[in-house]
Structures are given as structure tokens and as C-alpha cells.
Amino acid sequence: MSFRELLEKGQIAEFPALQLALGAIKGRVDRLTVASIGTGGSKEDYPLVEIQGTATSYQVKVLEDSSEYLDWLNSALLCAGFVEPIGLTAIARRLAEYEDIILGVDTNILYASILGEHLLDEFHRIHMRPYKESVNWILLVIPGVVMKELENAANMKKGNRLSHAGRRGYRALQEITTLKGTEGYQGLSVLVVGPTNPEQLHLSPDGLTIVNADSMIRDQFKAFLRGIDFRKGVFFLTMDKTNASLAAAEGLTALRIQYPRRLRKGDELAMPKEESVLLARLVYELAIEFGTVRVTWEDHGPHHLDLEGAWTWKSMEHWEAWQLLVSDLDPGIHKALSRYVDGSFDPRRFVREWQKLAEILAE
């Protein structure tokens, strides 16, 4: 078995190939370490997490103590589904009181992958009615101002590379395209309402946020609701306490989804119950959040695999396919991988099946 054609320096790492490689490695070693090596060309690494346990049921130990990096780490783990929002089950049960619902979403809901990674899965676990699904139909309403905020973020660069805000902006756009094409929830539709570039928009000095964006997001959602005959099962989702309070004061049924607790160095996190987070998914989210990550392990000597989350020519097709770029790897990695998996195994077959599945879902 050789991953040489699939995992080679300068080549794109297909998600299934990355999962096969990481799973094979973890099946033979006690721990993997994932470190940030940034996007500025520096090879100094900052250890983020240590992955212990089996390839399918592993634990994550926090190694970083920087407050900013801890926030980024929490965001990556949230998007990967390894940590969960506080009170998610209660909110899902509140929504599941209705068979048909309309959800207006704030920008932070998309940044945190709340719908695609958490809320839709939670609906499948709720059985409030013996002979009916908990929720049959969902209209996801994205105000145009939200799209403008994501556009501003996606255009943020540092040098010729996407900045952290730029990577997060594209990740949120990936969340939208994933929701539009999801087969996991047949009754989900996505609709953008209101102008995406209204004349009253004014950028803050940092060029990223929009002044009074929250009020315009609520106004666009309310304007949409005034044009339809739908009164029950209408909610506004946000992770911002103030925005939730103001939405409630304006007559919207606002639900605030709370961020997970703040991480600390030394925290050991177990995989949530009823979840199975792929190793490649965890590493993917870390690479998006931190720019470039180095996966290291010990087996007859040190080995490493460097993965880049947002290279200069990355397109939306790469985002939709969950792809990373192999920016570096040690000379012995292919020999090491050959020891982990039987020689008759051809990983290219899994990549072809993955591509066929993507084509089917895109139809």
C-alpha cells in the first residue's frame, strides 16, 4: 500500500485519504500531537492538542495556554462536533414542538457550524411524537447583511494569504453550501433575503465588522416575515446575548445558543456521547482555524505531516470537498504508512468512491 500518490508534498490531501492515513497511524501509536506552525513561513510550532485513545474513540488533551489560541481551539472543536454548545438539547426540543419551522440566523451561527454539525443531528435524536418526525420542514433564512459580513471576512488577507478572519469567513460559506446540498435532512431549504449590500452599510475601522449590523440583520428577517403568512414556529437564532435580548424586545422569538465553556491548558476532553468525530475532521478544522498544522508521532523515530488549510489558489470547490494541502512531510512517512496497512490495500479506491458520492449529492 502506498499513499505516495495521495499524500505528497505540494499535493492536495483528499479527505478520505487523510482519514485512512490518520486512522492507520493512530491504530499503531499511543498519541498524535497537532501543533500550529502558522501562515507566516515560520517553522516554530505551538503544540495545540494531544490525541490519545483509539482511532474511533479518542480523547483530546489541550496543550496550549494562549487565550487567543484557546478561543481558536474552542472554535475548531465546536465546528468539528467534538465539543457541544451549552443547552443545545433544550433548544432543539423547543424547536421540535413544531413540524414546520422558519429559522432566521445570525452570522455567528454560521461561523460555529451550529446547524450542520449540531442542531440537525439533535433533531434526529428527538422522538416527541410516536409516529411523526420531530421536525418535517425547515426554512433557513439568511439575511443579506449576514452574507455581506461573510464576504467582508472572506476578503481579509495577511500578505498574500487568508488571515484568520478570512479562513473563518470561507468556512462559514462552506457551511452554507453544505446545508444547501445536505441529504441528511430532506426538508431543509436555504433562502437569502434582503439586499446583500444595502447603501446604509458602514464598515468599522477594522474593515471587518459592519456598524449596526445586528439591527439590520433583525430588520431584514422581520421584513421577510411580514411578507409571508406564517406565524407559528418562527425563531431567530443567535449566539450573541445582546442580539437575542433586542430581538425578543422587538417581538421575535429569539433563542440564544451558548458557546461551550472556556478551555484551559491541561483539559482532557472525551468525545461527546452518540458522536463519532473522524480524526480527519478534527485535523481539518484545526488546519482551517490555525492556517497550517503539523501532525507528529513517534514510531521508530519522529514523523510529521504538515497540512495547510487555506493556500493561495484554494477555490470554493476545494472548500466544498473538505480538502487540505500537504505542505510538508518527513521522508519516512510513506514507509511508515506501509507498515500500518496491508500491502494489497489501494487507498485510491476510497478516493474514487468519495468523488462519486460527492457527484451524486451535488445532483
Give the mean model confidence (pLDDT) for residues 178-183: 78
Residue 130 pLDDT exceeds 60: no
Q: Are 119 and 188 in contact (CB under 8 A)?
A: no
Selection from 21-30, 167-176, 180-189 with the highest mean pLDDT? 167-176
**Residue 277: its pLDDT value, please?**
92
Q: Which of the four pLDDT bands, split at 50, 70 and 90, describes residue 63?
A: very high
- Which domains, from first to last, does the chain contain? 12-82+262-280+304-362 (no CATH), 88-256 (3.40.50.1010)
**pLDDT tens-digit profile of 31-59?**
999 999 965 444 568 899 999 999 889 99
CB atoms within 10 A of CB 220: 23
Segments of the chain assigned E as strands: 12-13, 31-36, 46-53, 58-62, 100-105, 137-143, 157-158, 161-162, 188-193, 234-238, 254-256, 268-270, 292-298, 302-308, 324-329
Residue 285 pLDDT exceeds 70: yes
149: left (phi over 0), alpha (psi -120 to 50) or beta: alpha
- How large is the angle between the packed helices 164-180 and 279-290, nearest 10 degrees? 140
Cα 125 to chain centroid, rounded = 21
Give the mean model confidence (pLDDT) for residues 289-295: 95
Q: What are phi and psi of 302, to 5 degrees?
A: -75, 145
The mean-pLDDT minimum among 188-192, 230-234, 292-296, 326-330 falls in 230-234
Q: Which of the four pLDDT bands, split at 50, 70 and 90, describes residue 351?
A: low
Q: Are 314 and 327 in contact (CB under 8 A)?
A: no
**Residue 131: its pLDDT value, please?**
43
How far apart are the C-alpha atoms of 4 and 31, rounded to whole Å? 23
**Residue 175: its pLDDT value, please?**
95
**Which is it for strands 12-13 and 324-329: parallel, antiparallel or unpaired?**
antiparallel
Q: Which residue has the higher pLDDT, 48 or 340?
A: 48
**Residue 124: its pLDDT value, please?**
77
Give the mean model confidence (pLDDT) for residues 126-155: 80
**Residue 43: its pLDDT value, please?**
52
Residue 3 pLDDT exceeds 80: no
**pLDDT tens-digit profile of 97-119?**
888 899 999 999 999 999 999 99
**Residue 185: its pLDDT value, please?**
63
Residue 184 pLDDT exceeds 50: yes
**Residue 182: its pLDDT value, please?**
67
Give the mean model confidence (pLDDT) for residues 316-336: 91
Residue 355 pLDDT exceeds 90: no
Q: Which of 153, 120, 143 is nearest to 193 (CA)?
A: 143
**pLDDT tens-digit profile of 259-278?**
999 999 999 999 888 788 99
Give the mean model confidence (pLDDT) for residues 84-109: 92
Name the average pLDDT for the chain.
Answer: 86
**Residue 41: its pLDDT value, please?**
45
Concatenated DSSP letters of 140-209: EEEEHHHHHHHHHHHT-EETTEE-HHHHHHHHHHHHHHHHHT-SS-TTEEEEEES-SS-TT--B-TTSSS
* 127 contact partners, CB below 8 Å, separation of at least 6: 134
